[in-house]
């Protein structure tokens, strides 16, 4: 039996050798080539260098992003502390000026300066909204939310996030409309509904936004206090949905700038919500410090998930859209420019309002809710308690002043490194953009009229060759070295804009809007991350 098997194997081997010798050797050569072939990466050096730079860019994103987030966090903190520290003092000074007017007489045409009027309006809004918030029962809201199912709370939390963004988007417009209506010069009065209706609209907005944030904080508090952490896990997983909704979209530098500002505002708001949750829980446990260590893991998980989602989101957005990590330095310079310009004598806005327009962070509702929670959680009784409150208030003023000094010095360094000092003496960005838009409109009008014929152009007194558009009619933005630093549009987009201005593209780019400088973007938009 073994002999028969050996003979069969020998016959098979002889047959294989016979076939290997007599068949075509192309198969052998192919297999040999596959096993021994080589290739040279240096033949495509540019491609592999670009891939390596992408990896380095992704590795740099966490550091550059956190530097921007840290700077933006302290900007929001400065605007937030302003509501508690300097705003009450400014309101008192403005009211003292009104009371002393009969003694001192009118030194000018205005009873109060525009900034003082805005401060008084903010103070009245805070007082009225706080009196309205005193009728809201936090304990009843907590038990009402706690009785809902996990799925309902998850849906409610998502709806609250969307509503908060919508409120933030439209809230500063309501406040700006009130400030302008109250301080508009008499010789420039236009048709409006009046200061009082605008004031009640602002009060209603701040109150509703504060209630919205209170429901958010209550929902988060219920998630912290639930026996199983399923609700908190579901809420944290909601952050990772942002990656799916943002990473695979096309982004430009301006769109990424708005997303970065939104992330700064969201992170700061989450920190305040966590502070409110900790205050409410500590009150329930009679301010036992041991309970704080029970809350610490959940707080750390919320913060860690937020940071991780932001890093992953920005890393892949910059990768898919070929955006360098240096762009976050440009964003810091733009935010620093807002702070430095608000400190000038010819400043046209308060810095807290500038942060609100840039980031969508409106400190009034959040500050109102924090005051409501602190006053209901901390009982002040006796002269010693009042002394502690006074010392705490002096400490907040000191923190605000030190934070402002450090931010101003850091902002001056950023502005100087970006070569943006000359822009400090330019007109406000809104005025520049409006003039640029009007020039663009005139250019479009000239281009349309040039296609109608030379007869109509001779009647209107135009040149003899209407098809030629001069450079003076092109939509020219004020150019400087910092413009190139702030916005670096794609070459294809630049060519299309130039061709549209010179009439080479025709009607295909008629509705195209020119790219905007980062300093001109002061609107918090979220719908598709578009800048219109």
pLDDT of residue 214: 92
Two tokens, residue 275: 């502070």
Residue among 408, 441, 418, 430 nearest 519 (CA): 430
- HSE value, Cβ hemisphere, 13 Å, CA-based, for 48: 6
At residue 52, the pLDDT reads 84
DSSP helix, strand, coil percent of the chain (3-state; round to 5): 75, 0, 25
Average pLDDT value for residue range 378-387: 83
| pLDDT one-digit tens code per residue, 91-127 | 999 988 888 776 665 555 567 888 888 999 999 999 9
Q: What angle do CA 397, 400, 403 make, to 5 degrees?
A: 150
316-363: per-residue pLDDT in tens? 888 888 888 889 999 999 999 888 888 877 777 777 777 777 888 889
Residues 6+ apart with CB under 8 A from 101: 111
Q: Is 508 exposed, middle or buried (0-12, 13-18, 19+ CB in 10 A)?
A: exposed
CB atoms within 10 A of CB 461: 6
Least confident of 321-325, 416-420, 488-492: 488-492
DSSP class per residue in 301-324: HHHHHHHHHHHHHHHHHHHHTT--
Residues 210 and 136: their CA atoms lie apart, in Å, by 11
For helices 195-225 and 230-246, give the axis angle rounded to 10 degrees. Answer: 120
Q: What is the mean pLDDT of residues 212-227?
A: 86
CA distance to 438, 460, 490, per residue, from 474 (Å): 10, 20, 19
Q: How far apart are CA 243 and CA 313, in angstroms?
A: 5
């Amino acid at each position: 039996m073994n002999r028969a098997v050996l003979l069969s194997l020998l016959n098979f081997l002889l047959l294989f050798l016979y076939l290997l010798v007599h068949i075509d050797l192309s198969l052998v050569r192919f297999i040999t080539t596959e096993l021994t072939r080589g290739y040279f990466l240096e033949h495509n050096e540019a491609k592999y260098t670009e891939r390596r730079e992408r990896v380095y860019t992704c590795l740099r994103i966490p550091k550059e992003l956190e530097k921007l987030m840290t700077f933006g966090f302290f900007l929001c903190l400065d605007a937030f502390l302003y509501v508690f520290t300097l705003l009450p003092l400014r309101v008192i000074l403005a009211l003292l000026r009104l009371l002393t007017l009969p003694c001192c007489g009118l030194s000018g045409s205005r009873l109060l300066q525009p900034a003082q009027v805005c401060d008084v309006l903010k103070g009245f809004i805070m007082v009225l909204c706080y009196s309205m918030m005193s009728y809201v029962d936090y304990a009843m809201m907590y038990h009402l939310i706690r009785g809902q199912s996990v799925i309902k709370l998850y849906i409610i939390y998502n709806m609250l996030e969307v509503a908060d963004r919508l409120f933030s988007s439209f809230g500063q417009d309501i406040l700006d409309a009130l400030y302008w209506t109250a301080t508009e010069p008499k010789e420039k009065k236009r048709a409006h509904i009046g200061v009082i209706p605008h004031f009640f609209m602002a009060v209603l907005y701040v109150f509703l936004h504060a209630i919205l944030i209170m429901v958010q904080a209550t929902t988060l508090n219920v998630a912290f206090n639930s026996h199983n952490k399923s609700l908190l896990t579901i809420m944290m997983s909601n952050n990772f949905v942002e990656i799916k909704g943002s990473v695979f979209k096309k982004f430009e530098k301006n769109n990424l700038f708005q997303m970065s500002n939104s992330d700064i505002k969201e992170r700061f708001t989450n920190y305040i919500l966590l502070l409110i949750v900790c205050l409410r829980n500590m009150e329930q446990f009679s301010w036992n410090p041991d309970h704080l260590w029970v809350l610490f893991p959940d707080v750390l998980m919320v913060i860690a998930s937020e940071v991780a989602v932001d890093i992953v989101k920005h890393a892949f957005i910059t990768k898919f859209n070929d955006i360098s990590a240096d762009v976050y330095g440009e964003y810091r310079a733009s935010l620093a420019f807002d702070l430095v310009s608000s400190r000038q004598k010819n400043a046209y806005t308060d810095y807290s309002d500038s942060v609100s327009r840039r980031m969508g962070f409106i400190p009034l509702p959040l500050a109102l809710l924090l005051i409501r929670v602190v006053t209901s959680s901390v009982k002040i009784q006796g002269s010693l308690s009042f002394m502690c409150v006074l010392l705490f208030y002096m400490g907040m003023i000191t923190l605000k002043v030190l934070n402002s000094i450090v931010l101003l010095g850091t902002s001056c360094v950023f502005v100087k490194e970006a070569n943006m000092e000359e822009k400090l003496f330019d007109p406000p960005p809104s005025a520049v953009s409006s003039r640029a838009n009007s020039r663009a409109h005139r250019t479009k009008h000239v281009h349309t009229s040039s296609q109608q014929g030379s007869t109509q152009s001779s009647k209107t007194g135009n040149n003899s060759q209407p098809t030629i558009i001069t450079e003076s009619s092109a939509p020219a933005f004020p150019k400087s070295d910092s413009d190139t630093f702030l916005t670096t549009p794609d070459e294809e987009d630049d060519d299309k804009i130039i061709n549209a201005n010179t009439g080479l593209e025709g009607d295909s780019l008629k509705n195209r809007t020119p790219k905007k400088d980062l300093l001109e973007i002061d609107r918090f938009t979220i719908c598709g991350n578009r800048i219109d």
